[in-house]
Amino acid sequence: MGLRIVVGSDDAGFDYKEALKRDLEADERVDEVIDVGVGADEHTAYPHVGVAAGRTIAEGRADRALLVCGTGIGVAMAASTVPGIRASVAHDSFSVERLVKSNNAQVLTFGQRVIGLELARKLAQEWLGHGFDESSASAQKVALLSEYEAAPATESEPVGR
C-alpha cells in the first residue's frame, strides 16, 4: 500500500505546493494526495493549514504531510501543535533523512522564500523513500517525546529521570 500524503500551504507557499503536489500525484509510492489548501485566490493563515494537515494525520486519514509557507517555520510550528505530530522544516538531504529516520516525523515543511523549487522537488522525492529506524538510538528519544507529550502540563519534573 502506498503513502497517503497531505499537502498544504498558505498563499506564500502556494506555487511550490502546487508543483510538489503534481510530483506526488505522479509518484508510484503515493496512493493519495489530500490538499488542505490554500487555493489559488485564497488567503488563509498558515496556522489553519498546518493544524488541518496535522489533524488529518492524527485522525489516521493520512500518513505524512508536505507543507509550504514563506519560510517553512510557521506551518511546522502549527502542525506540531497537534498531539502526536512531529514536524520540521528541512532544506537539505541530511536533515530530510534524519527527520524521518531518527525522529519519526510525519511532516516535512519547506520555505518557498528560502529554497529553490528544484531542490524542494528533489528533497520531497528523497523524503518519500525514508522510514523510521526503530532500532536506532534515536528511537528511545522519540519515545521520550511521546511521554512528555502525554504528561500533564502541570508536571514540572522531567519524565524518565
- Tell me the backbone φ, ψ of residue 137, rounded to 5 degrees: -60, -25
CA-CA-CA-CA dihedral for 79, 85, 88, 93, to nearest 10: -130
Which of 49, 69, 107, 108 is labelled catalytic? Answer: 69
Active site residue 138: no
Q: Contact, 74 vs 46, CB < 8 A?
A: yes
Sign of the dihedral defined by the CA atoms of residues 92, 95, 97, 100, in that order: negative
* C-alpha of 118 from chain center: 19
Cell 517525546, located at residue: 145
Task: Report how far residue 88's alpha carbon sits from residue 86's, in angstroms, rounded to the nearest whole number.
Answer: 7
Catalytic site positions: 69
